Structure 1
Amino acid sequence: MDGQPLFESERLVFSTWTPDQLEDVFRLHDDEEVGRYLMGRAETREDAQKRMNEWAKHYAKFGFCKFRLTRKSDGAFIGRAGFGTHGPENTPELGYAILRSEWRKGYASEAAIAIRDWLFRETDHDFCWGFAYSANTPSIKILRSIGMEFTHTEIEPETNQELTFHKYTRDMWHG
């Protein structure tokens, strides 16, 4: 990945990552409030490096990843949003994480809409998943607000916490 801007929303720029941005990933995921809904805990620099490596592999293989988010107005890093994969079919899985200092400003919703629309505009995927820990009611609210429909719950094996799954299809998209 080369860190190039790929697309924009009203207030955000979505780009790939460069190796020198590891500290941004660590700063985002090291926050206990952010990390508890990702891995169930704050993450280490080693976790951040693993994430960046995974995102690079996803981008090379699938053409998407969890993109870097910067604010258009000042170029400040605010989080990440994009897609991982879920299941044996490698179905796109929509996800986002925003620095706690940027919560309640509408960035997560804006990013979720932008990546949803990007997926259906730029790829031939028929649907995507979105899921969150069932206790993460703000994230579930965002998934529902962008039109995703509840499908089921599962227990996450690594954390033993319940995940709430939502699905969005190309037929639902009005882009």
Structure 2
Amino acid sequence: MKANRPMPNIPPFLVPNRIESPRLVLRTFRPDDWPSLHEHYSDAESTRFTFRRALSEGDSWYAMANMVGHWHLRGYGPYAVEEKATGNVLGTVGLWYPKDWPEPEIKWALTRRYWGKGYASEAARAVQAMAKEHLPDVSLISFIHAENAASIALALAVGATFEKEMPFRGATWHIYRHPR
């Protein structure tokens, strides 16, 4: 296999691969982001409603690779959330639409030590604004486990409204619709 051969049939990104907010840079992932993401994914409390378990190093790497691949398959995807002041990667926020999801969503997953500091809402609002400009015809949701009170509070804080609940992967999940 040739190392620098371009990949065929890869669509261009539909949205910017980098956006900014007052305290944050949201950008596509780099290989050196993996250890910061693993801090989130290896924390059983952080992954209780998504993966339902702490992830191994290998599983965390696969999760990051999955998000990188999402950009190439959909033309958009989750961003690495980097704090401007320190350069630390805090987690991920961005657009997400796996094959079994009901609709495209704004997802968020920050490392626990960054919870409660307003980073997730700041990043989610930046993604809302970016999507309004670049994907104006796409209605976005956040798809949240019914028991995930913190994510529900965040969805409401950024203006999303409860739309309905539905069964998904053996549990009850809620759809919160973001403003257009």
Q: Higher strand fraction: Structure 1 or Structure 2?
A: 1
SS at match of 2:85: coil
TM-score (norm 2): 0.82
Task: Give 1:163's match in structure 2, choosing from 150, 173, 180.
Answer: 173
* Alignment partners' CA distance in 1, 2:53 and 2:154: 22
* Alignment partners' CA distance in 1, 2:17 and 2:77: 13
RMSD in angstroms over aligned alpha carbons? 2.1
The aligned counterpart of 2:143 is 131
CA contact (8 A) 1:155 1:163 kept: yes
Identity, in percent, stands at 25
Gaps of at least 5 residues in structure 2 are 1-15
* Alignment partners' CA distance in 2, 1:117 and 1:47: 31
* Alignment partners' CA distance in 1, 2:67 and 2:100: 18
Q: How many residue pairs were aligned?
A: 165
Task: Give 1:68's match in structure 2, choosing from 56, 64, 80.
Answer: 80
* Alignment partners' CA distance in 2, 1:112 and 1:127: 15
SS at match of 1:22: helix
* Alignment partners' CA distance in 1, 2:158 and 2:51: 24
CA contact (8 A) 2:106 2:124 kept: yes
Higher RCO (CA < 8 A, seq sep 6+): 2
CA contact (8 A) 2:104 2:139 kept: yes
1:115, distance to aligned residue in structure 2 (A): 0.9
The aligned counterpart of 1:98 is 110
The aligned counterpart of 2:12 is none
TM-score (norm 1): 0.84
* Alignment partners' CA distance in 1, 2:113 and 2:69: 29
Aligned CA distance change for structure 1 residues 86 and 152 (closer, same or farther; 3 Å): farther
Gaps of at least 5 residues in structure 1 are none
Q: Tell whether 2:130 aligns with 1:118.
A: yes
* Alignment partners' CA distance in 2, 1:111 and 1:146: 10
SS at match of 2:50: coil
Equivalent position amino acid for 1:128 in 2 = L
1:145, distance to aligned residue in structure 2 (A): 1.8
Q: Tell whether 2:59 aligns with 1:14.
A: no
* Alignment partners' CA distance in 2, 1:84 and 1:121: 17
**Higher-Rg member (1/2):** 2
Equivalent position amino acid for 1:108 in 2 = A
* Alignment partners' CA distance in 2, 1:15 and 1:124: 20
* Alignment partners' CA distance in 2, 1:17 and 1:50: 13
Q: Which moved more, 1:60-69 or 1:76-85?
A: 60-69
- The 5-angstrom pairing of residues 3-82 of structure 1 reads 6-82=18-94
